[in-house]
Amino acid sequence: MSEEIALSSADRAQGLVRCDACPVLCRIRPGRVGACDRYANEDGKLVRVDPLVLLAKPGVETVAFVTGIGATTTYPDYKPAPFIVSSKHDGVDMVTVVTEGIFSYCGVKVKIDTDRYLGPEQAPVRVRGEQVGHVTTAEYGSQMLSLGGVHHLTGGSKKEGVVTCEALLALCNREAVELAIDGGATVVVQANKPPIVNGVIEERMRVGCGSAAIGMFAPQWRDHVDEVIVVDDHITGVLSEHQGGRFLDMKPAGIRVRGRRSTPGRYFQVAEPGLGWGGTDVADPLQIIEKIDPKQAWPGLRLLMVSTTGEHSAWFELDGDLKPQPTPMPAAVRSVVERIAENCEPALCTVLFMAGAGGSLRAGVTDNPVRLTRSVRDALTKVTLGGVPAYVWPGGGITLMVDVAHMPEKSFGSVPTPALVAPIEFTLRADDYATLGGYTSRVISLEEAKARAGYVRIDEDRR
């Protein structure tokens, strides 16, 4: 142990221990824990507070997998990973290299199933006033946030780094976090739970855009309506103009909506984005009607206006002056509106942990780190986090993503550097491990791993 890491004789006399599992190098007093609450001084010995988590098939006695949760970390990483465990699968000798990775380069991608406007693209996302990320490109039926990353963890003020780390840790451990978006909404995000936008729980993820809704339901509307307008912040659909209506020989109704016509029956920017109908700021749907052409429309024309989730709907008939008048909705139309709602999926938040494992962490697996990267690329090495297979991005490094909802509870920790700590396991054939320069002399059996650490066993389906 170097001078810097070694404890003074006075410290030793007082029973202190030094934790060297991360660059903070805590001196821990007897009976106390280190700065991350993950290591403690127990009777003069450094111990990991949380047990090693082993996964087992439900109802089967034998343990299937050693996860990195509670495995401890070796820092700096040129020391072999704390557990390198042998196993046999289908008669093949396998090795799993298990550790808790410390990730300074990490963040979460958050998918929020809602049409409601959360804020402009690129807008800062804040927790307790600190920017922890930004709004990124919206997806089909979902708003997306990109949170964390090295710039917020290390590139801003100390407080920004700390708050970012705390927010990431909570999100990864499936806790609720309130996020405030500049120029937009406040949203409570929790993995696998519905988002809460400005205090309102989102229930439905839209069936599709306005144009898609027309395409899906046009035949069911045809005999009961003269026009349907599906209000959507992105693509508002107008049935009689749309290919869906034309295909069914619907007569032009002469109702022109605001915004920019993209293709027949498909309109962009009919209103401003907001928390109203179909992710617009519209509370009264008639606001989006620009004009009604007296050459085409007729008194008694039946008009349905509906949002992409079916949450909002209204039925109108044109009076003698071609003014839309609210009228009770016929049952046959109501049932198609209900079908839109029925076809919506429950709105959820999804939190994907994303990190780069391509750095020094690899040196805990092999003395020739690039070989691990190549082995992952060649699909010889499987990468899991807490036993959950990670998606590894193509290109350089080992840049991975994993859905935290599938990982065991409390899989993540943090250290004050600040960085997140996540379990990571590399599994490969024993002969491939030897070929890539693995620490074969450190391979132990599952029984030895169990004897070495306090552990808990959980069923894979109870993660």
Q: How many CB atoms lie within 10 A of CB 320?
A: 7
Strand 399-403 and strand 391-392: pairing?
antiparallel
What's the min distance (Å) between Cβ of 99 and ligand SF4?
Answer: 13
Closer to ligand SF4 by Cβ: residue 65 or 83: 83
Q: CB 170 → ligand SF4: shortest distance, Å? A: 18
**In whole angstroms, how close is the CB of 16 to ligand SF4 at the nearest point?**
12
User: Which is closer to ligand SF4, CB of 86 or CB of 417?
Assistant: 417
Q: How far apart are CA 453 and CA 431, in angstroms?
A: 27
Note the residues at the interface with ligand SF4 (CB under 6 A).
Answer: 19, 21-22, 24-26, 34-36, 38-39, 415-416
Least gap, CB of 444 to ligand SF4 (angstroms): 23
Distance in Å, CB of 25 to ligand SF4, minimum: 5
Shorter beta-carbon distance to ligand SF4: residue 19 or 66: 19
Task: Return the number of the residue (34 or 208) whose C-beta is nearest ligand SF4.
Answer: 34
* Residue sitting closest to ligand SF4 (CB): 34
Q: Which is closer to ligand SF4, CB of 25 or CB of 123?
A: 25
Q: How far is the first Cα of the chain from the last one, in angstroms, to the nearest whole number?
A: 38
| Complex with ligand SF4: residue 26 or 301, whichever CB lies closer | 26
| Nearest approach, Cβ of residue 19 and ligand SF4 (Å) | 3
* Nearest-approach distance from CB 7 to ligand SF4, in angstroms: 13
**C-beta closer to ligand SF4: residue 170 or 225:** 170
